[in-house]
Amino acid sequence: MSQPKIARIDQSKLRESAYDALHEAFTRGAFAPGETVSLRTLADQLGTSMTPVREAVRRLVAEGALVDTPSRTLEVPPFDADRMRELKSARLALEALLLEEAMDRIDKDVITGLEKIISAPRSETGTPDLKQNYDFHFTLYRQSRSRVILPLVEALWLQYGAFLNLVVREQAAGEIPEHIHHEEIIAALRDNDRKSAQRSLALDIERSFKLLLPES
Amino acid sequence: MSQPKIARIDQSKLRESAYDALHEAFTRGAFAPGETVSLRTLADQLGTSMTPVREAVRRLVAEGALVDTPSRTLEVPPFDADRMRELKSARLALEALLLEEAMDRIDKDVITGLEKIISAPRSETGTPDLKQNYDFHFTLYRQSRSRVILPLVEALWLQYGAFLNLVVREQAAGEIPEHIHHEEIIAALRDNDRKSAQRSLALDIERSFKLLLPES
DNA sequence: TTGCGTGTGATCTGTGATATTTTATACCAT
DNA sequence: ATGGTATAAAATATCACAGATCACACGCAA
């Protein structure tokens, strides 16, 4: 029994490419809540036919990033404070589980990687570092090797991502020091201090929603 | 501006019908872990073309009820104890949140409805009352009016559903008294005793996994 | 002869594109 | 305002294609 010497070529799979492109756009806050999108437009922009886009869109709908309207168009869910509160409590519950699992397995190299992520030069454009924040959390969560909860959390971030679009404008005024909690988390990881790590993560999640849920 | 007097018949939407049919089949434990399914076969059985089935299947994949294989076929995820443990902790975390919200809003009529569900005649066929269990939990959870967490929990049940197929055979031997915890939950709802309701729900979820995760 | 690996082809699969049908909305005339 | 029509979009069906699987026969070696 010989092991394969060469890797499989990852054939076509336009559906995956389309999904990846849209996923990236969502985490970037490229879509505004309430905005409607058209399959044909997306297909044109991606340079494919409607079929792969449709399947990618079906997945996004299943994940809550898009919703079907009664008139059979697609729209980015409009802002909704109740939904936002649910996103927050779901994130608090599930990301705590991921952190717990991750701390069972994480090694020094990954922690160093996390430090590298947050110490990367902040973007010069004045836009908040959405991608940096995403990368920090998910390289941490991926250490959990979770195959059930991690996809759920990805879906939550996807829903949350659209709302970030609303925040980007006033971000400069908000001046949220997001890296503070990230540094606390890294320190706790080094000390293997679970309590402290959980507390810092919870604070970081709370922080994420401060601008969108001012009352809390 | 006149309001429509009669409800729309939700014609067409074959995609939704296909999804509903498959969803029902999963919660019924109709599919066995490891089993492969074919778009054409499903389309034939449902009496539609491949297209609606394909989109329904895309959603099921997004929810984790089906997975794509490297050879581009579809299969029901094979049994996996790690996945099972994740399902359990995710259910414990999220359903606790739903119960909390539900207890803020539930009224007497719904509690009576819950009693009616569990007092319905147990199926004569010897098969466990999967649907009865499903209906009990979700009529309760629906009271939370959740639009974020509830779909996540549905997805978890969908993944869990396939594994139930494995249990059905030995169920008679297991002889699990599932209605015990359900009755405790109802009593706690009547007393508005949150602590007790949460405890009973957790026990009920633990019970669900007893046969599949004997070690715990 | 027996056993095992190998190639072959029929048949199945998902994928992607496109044609057809259905529905919703905007527009225009009345 | 009302009603009909035109237009555009989504939903569905159908088709062409490339890859994967399986059964089976063939050939070589022990």
Q: Which of B59, B84, B86 to mutate to test the interface with A (most CBs of A within 10 A)?
A: B86
Q: Measure in Å the smallest separation between the Cα of A175 and chain B Cα atoms.
A: 28
Residue A208: exposed, middle, or buried by beta-carbon count in 10 A (0-12, 13-18, 19+)?
A: buried
From the CA of A8, how many Å to the C1' of D28?
A: 31
Nucleotide nearest B50 (Cα, C1'): D13
Q: Do A93 and B97 touch (CB under 8 A)?
A: yes
Q: What is the phi/psi pair of residue A75, to 5°?
A: -140, 155
Q: What is the pLDDT of residue A166?
A: 76
CA dist A104 → A40, A101, A192, B26, B88 (Å): 46, 5, 9, 33, 18
pLDDT for residue B166: 75
Please state the separation of Cα A57 from the chain's center in Å: 17
Question: Which of A84, A86, A209 is best to mutate for the B interface (most B CBs within 10 A)?
Answer: A86
The stretch B129-158 carries a mean pLDDT of: 95
Is B168 within 8 Å of B176 (Cβ atoms)?
no
* Whether B148 and A87 lie within 8 Å, measured CB to CB: yes
Q: Which residues of A touch B (CB under 8 A)?
A: 8, 54-55, 58-59, 61-64, 82-83, 86-87, 89-90, 93-94, 96-97, 146-149, 151-152, 155-156, 159
Contact B90 A94 (CB under 8 A): yes
Residues 6+ apart with CB under 8 A from B44: none
Q: Of A6-10, A181-185, B134-138, B195-199, where does mean pLDDT reach its minimum?
A: A6-10
Chain B 2-41, CB < 7 Å to strand D: 12-15
**pLDDT of B9 higher than 50:** no
Tell me, in Å, how far CA of B52 is from C1' of D12? 7
Query: Tell me, in Å, how far CA of A4 is from C1' of C6?
Result: 18
The predicted pLDDT at position B6 comes to 31
Higher local confidence (pLDDT), B164 or B10: B164
Task: Compute the average pLDDT of residues B209-214.
Answer: 85
Question: Per CA to C1' distance, which residue is closest to C22?
Answer: B12
Q: What does the pLDDT read at residue B172?
A: 53
Q: Domains in chain A, ordered, with CATH?
A: 14-75 (1.10.10.10), 81-210 (1.20.120.530)
- Going by C-alpha positions, the residue among A198, A75, A92, A28 that lies closest to residue B149 is A92
**Which of A179, A201, A174, A161 minimizes the C-alpha distance to A76?**
A161
Euclidean distance between CA atoms B142 and B140, whole angstroms: 6
Shortest CB distance from A147 goes to which of B86, B89, B156? B86
According to the model, what pLDDT value does residue A1 have? Answer: 36
Among partner residues B58, B97, B147, which is closest to A55 by beta-carbon distance?
B58
Question: Which stretches of chain A drop beneath a pLDDT of 50?
Answer: 1-11, 126, 173
Are A26 and A161 in contact by the 8 Å Cβ rule? The answer is yes
Question: From the Cβ of B40, is strand C under 7 Å away?
Answer: yes
pLDDT at A153: 98
* Residue of B210, B211, B167, B162 whose CA lies nearest to B29: B162
CA of residue A2 to C1' of nucleotide C2, angstroms: 26
DSSP H or E stretch at residue A135: helix A130-142
Does the distance separating the beta carbons of B59 and A61 come in below 8 Å? yes
Q: Which nucleotide is nearest to B36 (CA to C1')?
A: C13
Confidence of residue B37 (pLDDT cuts 50, 70, 90): very high
Q: Are B140 and B100 in contact (CB under 8 A)?
A: no
Contact call for residues B129 and B135 (beta carbons, < 8 A): no
A158 contacts A26 by C-beta, under 8 angstroms: yes
**B96 compared with B120, residue with greater pLDDT:** B96
